[in-house]
Chain A
């Protein structure tokens, strides 16, 4: 994460919430997948071996789409102490491959208002104000309804 280490005297930018969220020096943040050129399986996070076909030399990086559809969800009404509820935990299939899990925001946490297959987009925002022990802010990804 050298690219996120600020130079002396600069205000540090947010850190990525997961290592597959990339924050380039210029341009928009994006999610990076790894894809096997042998079987086309898409993975989140760094890896060199495909756990689908076992190929050791066919993994390359791919910029994941910010467009997807809702595959499954739960409305979480009780969580661990200190975690604000309710929220919508969502599984989203991305266009062009890859599946993500995250919070679905800007929607009522009501099963009647949420429909399978609904188009959603990936947006990048501050990680709900959460900071680590060193006081660093984090950039996270969320889903919101499209259109």
Chain B
């Protein structure tokens, strides 16, 4: 079966834009991706739009109202933090199915500040701080502490993830922050939910990213010049685990998605040159080194200690700065990851370029859970 290609992709610089609307942010990214592909809205046959905060408000159609109401089909997706990647995958599937040759995918989010999580609600009395914590920092702290329980992973090792990703973001002008955070700074920052300090929590920002996907036939017709090949697109939900009811499981769905993605792409973890993975909290990144097969079980602590996932290391992870420092606009994150990996495969990542990048992987997790993985390949 023929492959699907990315012909254009871009993202806006992540930040806080309280005076902008969700559709206007999405429209800006959409136009940037179209320009990058040297195509226009009249050539798009469908739009897949990911947004969580206004999931019931037809964001995709409202984007078209800003950039061109051509009457094409629009699908709006909501899948927690996998929202953008799910929209991208809907576009991929529609081309793979032979329905369309050119599809636009947009992910966009406008966030407030503050803690994310289940505020309790429901009947009776608030449960937060009574039956443990449902705040996201605590939920992911517990997921990290499960790893500590099994393998002895330390607070310092989790903190090193944040040091690395903040360092990477100093090389990325589109990241929310470009600030170095030494280990002592990370570890001594305000404790939110041990072992996650404030600098180990992803940044709530506004953002948008977009991509133009094309069938192989159309991509060849238009020229493969800067195209990126999509080798695998996988979406999973969480297979049953015994602690599911009290401990959202980000591991099983990632392992299942990774296994499927490697098979679909015909590559192994050893072939991957860079990864953008879901570092919503520093603790999470450690888990996913193992979940994605970048190292063996129990080796993630050593991997961060030895710098294997830093720029210049064996398999650089989150060279964009990751969700920790680039920022995490929920619905945009999945496509922003795809933009980052594509930029490296095109050799256009400037100071943070991963040398000779040929295969890259993107990974997002929507708690609840949804895991999306894409494997992208440089086109020769």
Contacts and interface: CB of A to CB of B under 8 A. Distances in A.
Interface of A: 15, 17-18, 41-45, 51-52, 71-80, 83-85, 87, 89-91, 93, 99-103, 111, 116-117, 127-128, 130-132, 138, 140-141
A77 B195 CA distance: 10
Contact of A89 (B142, B149, B190): B142
27 contacts: A17-B125, A17-B127, A17-B130, A41-B242, A44-B246, A71-B146, A71-B149, A72-B149, A74-B193, A74-B194, A76-B193, A76-B194, A77-B194, A78-B115, A78-B191, A79-B129, A79-B138, A80-B117, A84-B129, A87-B133, A91-B142, A91-B247, A101-B246, A103-B131, A128-B130, A132-B125, A141-B131
A77 B246 contact: no
Contacts of B130: 17, 102-103, 127-128, 130, 140
A20 to B, nearest CB: 10
Interface in B223-257: 240, 242-247
5 tightest A-B CB contacts, nearest first: A74-B141, A89-B132, A101-B246, A75-B194, A83-B129
A13 to B, nearest CB: 15
A109 B368 CA distance: 28
A77 B132 contact: no
A105 B117 CA distance: 23
Most buried by A among B117, B125, B242: B125
Contacts of B120: 80
Given A84-B129, A91-B243, A76 B142 contact: no
A28 to B, nearest CB: 19
B119 interface: yes
A51 B240 contact: yes
A111 B192 CA distance: 14
Contacts of A85: 129
Interface in B111-164: 115, 117, 119-120, 124-133, 135, 137-138, 141-143, 145-146, 148-149, 155
A75 B246 CA distance: 16
A52 B238 CA distance: 11
B133 A89 contact: yes
A74 B131 CA distance: 13
A132 B119 CA distance: 15
A76 B126 contact: no
Contacts of B246: 44, 91, 99-101
A17 B115 contact: no
A101 B247 contact: yes
Contacts of B193: 74-78, 89
A99 B135 contact: no
A85 B124 CA distance: 21
Interface residues of B, number: 39
A12 to B, nearest CB: 14
A88 to B, nearest CB: 8
B142 A72 contact: yes
Contacts of A75: 191, 193-194
Contacts of B247: 72, 91, 99, 101
A74 to B, nearest CB: 4
A90 to B, nearest CB: 6
A83 B133 CA distance: 10
A132 to B, nearest CB: 5
Interface string B270-314: 000000000000000000000000000000000000000000000
Contacts of B191: 75, 77-78
A72 B128 contact: no
A76 B124 contact: no
A142 B149 CA distance: 21
A58 to B, nearest CB: 15
B200 to A, nearest CB: 12
Contacts of A102: 130-132
B230 to A, nearest CB: 32
A100 B247 CA distance: 9
B155 A111 contact: yes
Contacts of A76: 129, 133, 135, 138, 193-194
A147 to B, nearest CB: 20
A77 B178 CA distance: 27
Contacts of A71: 146, 149, 243
Contacts of A43: 245
A103 B245 contact: no
A77 B128 contact: no
A141 B246 CA distance: 14
A100 B243 CA distance: 8
A78 B193 CA distance: 7
B240 A41 contact: yes
A46 B57 CA distance: 34
B186 to A, nearest CB: 15
A74 B125 contact: no
